[in-house]
């Protein structure tokens, strides 16, 4: 029997983020975000626009991006301590949301430990 505890899943995701966290730019992430929204959401709504607004607000800044496994992607501005996540599930499901303060602090710590810019 193969079981995963919640803590084991979290540990696996933390390690995936540590391994994949890298600098990116707003243009690259905007392209990725637009594909995600158009493919998964069809018609854009006010909630979707908030994600595009995040990219616009951070244009010209260095962003960080990571994958956390199982279709979970994170885009983050270490300068502002803000970011969002996108989730694509193989079976066709998806989700998106903004990072909380605790997650932002963890990502800043990981970035610093990797020597990535955080301001």
Over residues 30-67, the pLDDT tens digits come to 998 988 888 766 778 888 899 999 999 999 888 999 99
Average pLDDT over all residues of the chain: 87
Q: Is 77 exposed, middle or buried (0-12, 13-18, 19+ CB in 10 A)?
A: buried
Whole-number CA gyration radius for the chain:
15
Look at strands 82-88 and 94-98 and give their pairing. Answer: antiparallel
Q: What is the structure's pLDDT at 1?
A: 42
B/e letters for 80-104, b = 16+ CB within 10 Å, e = fewer, are eebbbbbbbeeeeeeebeebeeebb
Domain contains 62: yes
Q: What predicted TM-score, i.e. pTM, was given to this entire model?
A: 0.84
Over residues 68-88, the pLDDT tens digits come to 888 889 999 999 999 999 998
Domain contains 12: yes
Range of the domain at 79: 6-114
> For residues 13 and 4, which has the higher predicted lDDT (pLDDT)?
13
Q: Tokens 């084991």 — which residue?
A: 8
Q: Does 106 score more than 50 pLDDT?
A: yes
Number of domains in the chain: 1
Cβ neighbours of residue 95 under 8 Å, at least 6 residues apart? 86, 87
- CA dist 29 and 2 (Å) reads 36
Domain contains 119: no
Specify which residues 76 forms β-bridges with.
64, 83
Domain contains 1: no
Q: What is the structure's pLDDT at 5?
A: 86
């Amino acid at each position: 029997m193969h079981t995963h505890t919640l803590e084991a899943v979290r540990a696996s995701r933390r390690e995936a983020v540590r391994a994949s966290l890298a600098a990116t730019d707003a243009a690259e992430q905007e392209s990725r975000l637009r594909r995600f929204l158009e493919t998964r959401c069809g018609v854009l709504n006010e909630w979707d626009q908030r994600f595009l607004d995040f990219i616009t607000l951070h244009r010209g800044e260095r962003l960080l991006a990571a994958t956390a496994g199982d279709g979970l992607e994170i885009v983050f501005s270490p300068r502002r301590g803000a970011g969002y996540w996108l989730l694509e599930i193989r079976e066709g499901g998806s989700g998106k949301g903004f990072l909380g303060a605790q997650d932002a602090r963890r990502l800043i710590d990981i970035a610093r430990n990797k020597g990535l810019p955080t301001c």
